[in-house]
């Protein structure tokens, strides 16, 4: 087993850790091990932002938009005065 020392932890975080450890009947050290084990054993997110947004809002449905007309030649953007 390895040893890990963490310095400069905010007092508020340390207090929350102490309270969580007490609530679970564990030492602070065991609570940290449990948190790290739980978080790091979850699979990494392998999907992109668009896929995650789609999955989140798929239940409320979507809108079918007609495809844009592609028969016209492309035009360059016009910036500034067009007069």
Domain that holds residue 13: 1-42
State the CB neighbour count (10 A cutoff) for residue 81.
Answer: 5
State the CB neighbour count (10 A cutoff) for residue 47.
Answer: 10
pLDDT band at 83 (very low <50, low <70, confident <90, very high): low
> Does 34 map to a domain?
yes
> Does 81 map to a domain?
no
Structural domain count of the chain = 1
The helix or strand, by DSSP H or E, that contains position 52, with its residue range, turns out to be helix 49-57
> Does 19 map to a domain?
yes
Decide if 19 contacts 25 (C-beta within 8 A). Answer: no
> Does 73 map to a domain?
no
19-76 pLDDT, tens per residue?
A: 999 999 999 999 999 999 999 998 877 788 888 888 888 888 877 888 888 888 888 8
The helix or strand, by DSSP H or E, that contains position 31, with its residue range, turns out to be helix 28-40
> Does 25 map to a domain?
yes
> Does 47 map to a domain?
no
């Amino acid at each position: 087993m390895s040893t890990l020392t963490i310095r400069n932890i905010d007092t508020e975080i340390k207090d929350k850790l102490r309270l969580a450890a007490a609530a679970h009947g564990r030492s602070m050290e065991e609570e940290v091990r449990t948190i790290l084990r739980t978080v790091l054993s979850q699979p990494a997110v392998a999907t992109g932002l668009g896929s995650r947004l789609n999955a989140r809002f798929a239940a409320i449905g979507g809108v079918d938009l007609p495809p844009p007309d592609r028969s016209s030649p492309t035009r360059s953007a016009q910036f500034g005065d067009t007069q």
